[in-house]
Amino acid sequence: MGGFGFTQEQEMLREEVRKFAKKELAPGASERLKMGPMELHEALKPLDKKIVEMGWSALNAPAKYGGHPIDAVSMGIIFEECAKVDPYVETVGAMQATTALLETLPEDVQDEWFPRLIKRETKHAFGFTEAQAGSDAANVQTRAVRDGDDYIITGEKFPIPFAMVADVASISVRTDPKAGFKGVSMFWVPLHLPGINIRPLPWMGNPNLVPSVASFEGVRVPARYCEGGEGQGFYMVVNTLDWLRVITALTCLCRALASLEEAIAWAKERIVFGQPIYKYQGVSFVIAEHATLLEAARLLCYRVLWLKDQGLPYMTECSMAKWYSVEVSIQAIKDFMVIIGHPAYSTEHPISQRLRDVVGFQMGDGTPQMQKLIIARMMMGK
């Protein structure tokens, strides 16, 4: 995306990914939309192998594990084109955040986990949120107390996506009760350790996230599993969320764009008073307005990725993209549901599932209010 627009190489990548998504992801995508969390997890395993074969699970991982570098805009292209076809297939989103966290750990820990994660033989979960520490990431109540060469962790993470199917999680904890946000640390915690209890958390949408609650009762974790060193957890949470927010924005837009295509197709076929409903401005103008807003949000997302590639600050734009993209996606999908009518209100129609999914993303990775607060503070120089 040099200057304004995409490079020739990026457009070639987009075409390659589109062909892959049409061939490998499209078959069965509508059926997967109706599956519950564990059933969906099993159904996605063959597609995980396809992602590994494409080399996407190793992007930006260390070369010794078979990784190779790629720019953020290109990662956005891969994610977008696949998510348009099936938003439940994980391609390059979460793995990029996992890679950044794992690289802060000793080499022997990386040797243990990178090969398995890249091959999709295991999953990694993020445990930043608690009952009193969602938007206020520095207010974590889960504690980690040093005991020799270990830390003993006690507390609860609610919710913690993927924990039901993951083997390891990065969780934020308080290591210094008196140090405020500087007293937060992050740990790489294998989820088979004694004292960890994980239970499912029923959600109205996003079954691919396999939502869970995880409690930690006196869990002993080696000190060398502290990511980035003690007291660095808050900064690592912020950096991780900045990446996940733009991915969240794109996944919502992809759901809305898929719904846009369905609304257009329906408007051409549905006959009312002797003519297709797209000929009525009450329908065609709604489609035109939402198409414009969705494209504006999409370009904002790619600006965030471009800024990241240039090594420029992008926190403000990232919060703009997350808040705005989710908001316009919800409104678009709701209006497209009205255009299609009662068939779209049925749980059998994919648009109803997309609406439930996107509403959930208003809370995930930071609420709209928190994004506006970040934007305002950054603009005021705080």
pLDDT at res. 3 = 63
SS3 of residue 346 by DSSP: coil
Is residue 82 a contact partner of residue 252, using CB atoms and an 8 Å limit? no
Give the rounded percent of residues in the chain with a pLDDT score beyond 70. Answer: 99
> What band does 136 get if pLDDT is binned at 50, 70 and 90?
confident
Domain extents for the chain?
Answer: 8-118, 124-230, 234-379
Q: pLDDT of 47-60, one tens digit each?
A: 999 999 999 999 99
pTM: 0.94
Matching CATH topology for 124-230 and 234-379? no
What is the token pair recorded at 248? Answer: 């969240």
What is the token pair recorded at 141? Answer: 């109540």
* Phi-psi sector, 196: left (phi>0), alpha (psi -120 to 50), beta: beta
Q: Say if residue 32's pLDDT is above 60.
A: yes
> What band does 246 get if pLDDT is binned at 50, 70 and 90?
very high
Q: pLDDT of 91-130, one tens digit each?
A: 998 999 999 999 999 999 999 999 999 999 999 999 999 9
10: Cβ contacts below 8 Å, ≥ 6 apart:
1, 73, 74, 77
> What band does 222 get if pLDDT is binned at 50, 70 and 90?
very high
Q: Which CATH superfamily is domain 8-118 in?
A: Acyl-CoA dehydrogenase/oxidase, N-terminal domain (1.10.540.10)
SS3 of residue 358 by DSSP: helix
How do 168-174 and 271-272 pair as beta strands? unpaired
Q: pLDDT of 56-88, one tens digit each?
A: 999 999 999 999 999 999 999 999 999 999 999
pLDDT at res. 131 = 84
Q: Could you say which DSSP state residue 218 is in?
A: E
* Class in CATH terms, 124-230: mainly beta
pLDDT at res. 2 = 52
Instruction: Return the ∠ at Cα 265 (arms to 263 and 270), rounded to 5°.
Output: 90
Pick the CATH number of 234-379 from 1.20.140.10, 1.20.120.10, 3.40.1800.10, 3.40.50.300: 1.20.140.10
pLDDT at res. 135 = 76
